[in-house]
Amino acid sequence: MMTVQRRKLFSYVWLVAVMLWCGIRIGAVGVWLSQYGVNTSIFAIVEIVSSVIYGVASARTVLSLVDKRRRNALLWGIASAVSYLAPDVYVFSAGQSLPLMSYVVIITLIVLLGSVGIIDARRRYVQFSKNKTDGN
């Protein structure tokens, strides 16, 4: 069975990675999208709150799957998806006459990083499930 310390470490490392990406996104919006009506301060609040929720919820999704708690995994997965998309929804709704390239970049990042996140979650699920059955 996966130790409590390993589960906590996984959750904390993942949350730190999510928050680092959060900082990069806030900086990018401040540099490239603020002149198109996207308020960097509001975006930062939405991004920070949703990143914390996403970091916790996505880690809990994986751990719920490992524990074979499918209903909990579904609920955490929905929270992950909503919080993952919230900052981008704000950008699309607040932005005024965003350049086409902004839409292309944001949608590409949503699809690309969303896919990477799902693939990574699956990899971690398989890894943790294997460790759980091996008795580690």
pTM of the model: 0.84
Per-residue pLDDT reduced to its tens digit, 77-103: 999 999 999 999 999 999 989 999 999
- Greater pLDDT, 60 or 127: 60
- Supply the range of the domain harboring residue 104: 4-134
What six digits make up the tokens of 16? 């730190």
CB atoms within 10 A of CB 67: 16
Integer Cα distance of 79 and 58 in angstroms: 8
What six digits make up the tokens of 122? 């699956």
CB neighbour list of residue 76: distance below 8 Å, 6 or more residues apart: 57, 58, 60, 61, 64
Report the number of distinct structural domains present in the chain: 1
